[in-house]
Amino acid sequence: MEALTRWTDRLIGLSAFVGTAGLLFVVGVILVDVIGRNFGRPLYGAQDMVTMTMVLIVFGGMALCDRLDGHIVVDIFEGSFPEWLNRVIDIASALLGAVIFALIAWAIWNSAQLSQMLNLSTNLLRLPLAWFQYAVVAFSGVTVLALLMRAGLLLAGAPRKSAEGAL
Amino acid sequence: QELRYANWAAPMHTITASQIEPLAEALEEGTGGAVTLRAFHGGELGAGPADQYVRVVQGTAEMGWGLPGYTSSQFPKSMIVELPGALELDQPAHEAMWRAFEGELASEFPMTEVLALWGSEPNVLMMRDREIRAPEDLRGLKIRVSGAAAAEAIEALGATPVQLPITQVYNGLQTGLIDGLVSGASVMSDFKLDEVVGTMSLGANLGRLSFFTVMNKAAYDGLPDEAKAALDTEMRAELSRRAEEAWKATADAGIDAARASDRTTVIDLSEDEIAAFDAALAPVTDAYIADVGGEAALAAMRGQ
Amino acid sequence: MSPVLAGTLGLVILLVLLLIRVPVAFAMFAVGFSGIWLLNGLPAAMGLLSSETFALASNAELIVVPLFILMGNVASVTGMSRKLYDAAYACIGQIRGGLASATVIGCGGFAALSGSSVASALTMGRTALAEMDRFNYSPRLSTGVVAAGGTLGILIPPSTGFVIYAILTQQSIGRLFMAGVLPGILLLTLFILTVMLLCWIWPEMGPKGPATTMAEKGRAFVGAIPILSVVLVTIGGIYGGIFSPTEAAGVGAALVILIGALGRSLTLASFWQAARSSIVTTASVMLILIAAHLINPFIALSHLPAEVSGMLVTLDLGLYGTLLVILAIYLVLGCFLEGLAMLVLTLPIFMPVILQLGIDPIWFGVLVVLTLEMGLISPPVGINVFIVKSVARNVPLSEIFRGVTPFWFAMLLCLLIIIAVPQIALWLPGMM
Ligand code: NA
Ligand code: NA
Q: Which residues of B touch A114 (CB under 8 A)?
A: 54, 57-58
Which pLDDT does position C1 carry in this prediction? 78
- CA C199 distance to own-chain centroid: 24
Q: Which residues of C touch B43 (CB under 8 A)?
A: 297, 341, 344
Dihedral pair phi/psi, residue C316, rounded to 5°: 55, 65
Ligand 2 centroid vs C334 CA: distance in angstroms? Answer: 5
* Span B199-205, average pLDDT: 95
Q: Best of A30, A118, A119 to disrupt the B interface by mutation (most B CBs within 10 Å)?
A: A118
C332 or B55: whose pLDDT is higher? B55
Please answer yes or no on whether C281 and A70 come within 8 Å at the CB atom: yes
From CA B213, how far away is CA B53, in angstroms rounded? 9
C308 or B252: whose pLDDT is higher? B252
Question: Poorest-confidence range of A32-36, B62-66, B161-165, C309-313?
Answer: C309-313
pLDDT, tens digit, for every residue of B149-159? 888 899 999 99
Which pLDDT does position A163 carry in this prediction? 44
DSSP code string of A34-89: HHHHHTT-PPTTHHHHHHHHHHHHHHHTHHHHHHTT-S----TTGGGS-HHHHHHH
Please answer yes or no on whether A71 and C29 come within 8 Å at the CB atom: no
Burial (CB count <10 Å: 0-12, 13-18, 19+), residue C124: buried
From CA C289, how far away is CA C283, in angstroms rounded? 10
Q: Do the beta carbons of residue C186 and residue C424 sit within 8 Å?
A: yes
Q: Which residues of C touch A133 (CB under 8 A)?
A: 54
Which pLDDT does position B10 carry in this prediction? 81
Top-confidence range, A11-15, B168-172, C65-69:
A11-15
* Span C280-295, average pLDDT: 88
Specify the DSSP class assigned to residue C156: S
Q: What is the mean pLDDT of each run of 10 residues along chain A (167 residues)?
A: 87 97 97 92 92 97 91 81 91 96 97 96 93 98 95 87 46
From CA B4, how far away is CA B162, in angstroms rounded? 36
Which residues on adjacent β-strands are paired with residue A16?
Answer: none
Which residues on adjacent β-strands are paired with residue B292?
Answer: none
CA-nearest of B267, B200, B190, B238 to B22 is B238
Q: Kindly report the CA angle at C367 between C240 and C388, in degrees rounded to 5?
A: 70
Q: Kindly report the CA angle at B235 between B229 and B239, in degrees rounded to 5?
A: 145
Task: Tell me if ipTM is over 0.85.
Answer: yes
Buried b or exposed e, range C143-152, using 16+ CB within 10 angstroms: bbbbbbbbbb
Confidence grade of residue C134 (pLDDT, cut at 50, 70, 90): confident
Which chains have at least 3 CB atom pairs separated by less than 8 Å from chain C? A, B
Q: In 3-state terms, chain C is what percent helix, strand and coil (to 5)?
A: 80, 0, 20
Which pLDDT does position C45 carry in this prediction? 94
Q: Best of C156, C344, C349, C350 to disrupt the B interface by mutation (most B CBs within 10 Å)?
A: C344
Which pLDDT does position A166 carry in this prediction? 39
Q: Do the beta carbons of residue B41 and residue C342 sit within 8 Å?
A: no
Which chains have at least 3 CB atom pairs separated by less than 8 Å from chain A? B, C
From CA A50, how far away is CA C243, in angstroms rounded? 15
Q: Has residue C15 got a pLDDT over 50?
A: yes
Does any CB of chain C come closer than 8 Å to the CB of residue A59? yes
B283 or C79: whose pLDDT is higher? B283
C430 or A45: whose pLDDT is higher? A45
Which pLDDT does position B148 carry in this prediction? 79
Task: Spell out the residues 6+ positions from residue A63 whose beta carbon is closer than 8 angstroms to its own.
Answer: A11, A12, A15, A16, A139, A142, A143, A145, A146
Q: Has residue C186 got a pLDDT over 90?
A: yes
Q: Has residue C83 got a pLDDT over 90?
A: no
From CA B295, how far away is CA B217, in angstroms rounded? 29
Determine, yes or no, domain membership for A160.
Answer: no
From CA B284, how far away is CA B53, in angstroms rounded? 28
How long, in residues, is chain B?
Answer: 304
Which pLDDT does position C269 carry in this prediction? 93
Which chains have at least 3 CB atom pairs separated by less than 8 Å from chain B? A, C
CA-nearest of A11, A9, A43 to A25 is A43
Confidence grade of residue C338 (pLDDT, cut at 50, 70, 90): low
Which pLDDT does position C115 carry in this prediction? 66
Segment 99-118 of chain A within 8 Å of chain C by CB: 100, 103-104, 106-108, 110-111
Q: Which residues of C touch B191 (CB under 8 A)?
A: 167
Ligand 2 centroid vs A54 CA: distance in angstroms? Answer: 26
Q: Which residues of A touch C19 (CB under 8 A)?
A: 74, 76-77
Determine, yes or no, domain membership for A72.
Answer: yes
Q: Do the beta carbons of residue C141 and residue C332 sit within 8 Å?
A: no
Determine, yes or no, domain membership for A144.
Answer: yes
Q: Has residue C31 got a pLDDT over 50?
A: yes
Q: Which residues of B touch C52 (CB under 8 A)?
A: 46-47
Amino acid at B89: L
Question: Poorest-confidence range of B90-94, B230-234, C183-187, C312-316?
Answer: C312-316
Which pLDDT does position C182 carry in this prediction? 93
Closest ligand relative to C147 C-alpha: 2
Q: Has residue C396 got a pLDDT over 50?
A: yes
Q: Which residues of C touch B198 (CB under 8 A)?
A: none
Ligand 2 centroid vs B301 CA: distance in angstroms? Answer: 52
B147 or B263: whose pLDDT is higher? B263
From CA C432, how far away is CA C412, in angstroms rounded? 28
Nearest CA in chain C to A134: C54
Amino acid at C67: L
Determine, yes or no, domain membership for A148.
Answer: yes
B237 or C130: whose pLDDT is higher? B237
Amino acid at C263: G
Top-confidence range, B55-59, C297-301, C370-374:
B55-59
Which pLDDT does position C313 carry in this prediction? 67
Please answer yes or no on whether B73 and A110 come within 8 Å at the CB atom: no
B138 or C299: whose pLDDT is higher? B138
Number of domains making up chain A: 1
Dihedral pair phi/psi, residue A39, rounded to 5°: -110, 20
Ligand 2 centroid vs C126 CA: distance in angstroms? Answer: 21
* Span B237-262, average pLDDT: 93
Confidence grade of residue B13 (pLDDT, cut at 50, 70, 90): confident
Confidence grade of residue C432 (pLDDT, cut at 50, 70, 90): low
- CA A127 distance to own-chain centroid: 21
Ligand 1 centroid vs A33 CA: distance in angstroms? Answer: 24
Does any CB of chain C come closer than 8 Å to the CB of residue B58? yes
Q: Which residues of A touch C275 (CB under 8 A)?
A: 20, 23-24
Dihedral pair phi/psi, residue C263, rounded to 5°: -85, 5
Amino acid at A1: M
Closest ligand relative to C374 C-alpha: 2
Which pLDDT does position C288 carry in this prediction? 87
Dihedral pair phi/psi, residue B38, rounded to 5°: -120, 125
Q: Has residue B217 got a pLDDT over 60?
A: yes
Which pLDDT does position B149 carry in this prediction? 80
Question: Poorest-confidence range of B134-138, C19-23, C120-124?
Answer: C120-124
Which pLDDT does position B20 carry in this prediction? 96
Segment 124-163 of chain C within 8 Å of chain B by CB: 158, 160, 163
From CA C216, how far away is CA A118, in angstroms rounded? 66
Ligand 1 centroid vs B266 CA: distance in angstroms? Answer: 32
Q: Has residue B97 got a pLDDT over 90?
A: yes
Nearest CA in chain A to C237: A34
CA-nearest of C45, C72, C188 to C127 is C72
* Span C294-322, average pLDDT: 80
Dihedral pair phi/psi, residue B118, rounded to 5°: -155, 170
Does any CB of chain C come closer than 8 Å to the CB of residue B32? no
Q: Do the beta carbons of residue B18 and residue B243 sit within 8 Å?
A: yes
Domain ranges of chain C: 3-44+60-431
Please answer yes or no on whether B110 and A124 come within 8 Å at the CB atom: no
C318 or C32: whose pLDDT is higher? C32
Model confidence, pTM: 0.91
Domain that holds residue A124: 2-155
**3 state SS of B109:** coil
Nearest to B162 among A37, A119, A120 (CB): A37
Q: Best of A39, A72, A111 to disrupt the C interface by mutation (most C CBs within 10 Å)?
A: A72
Determine, yes or no, domain membership for A162.
Answer: no
Q: Are strands B208-216 and B180-184 parallel, antiparallel or unpaired?
A: unpaired
Determine, yes or no, domain membership for A163.
Answer: no
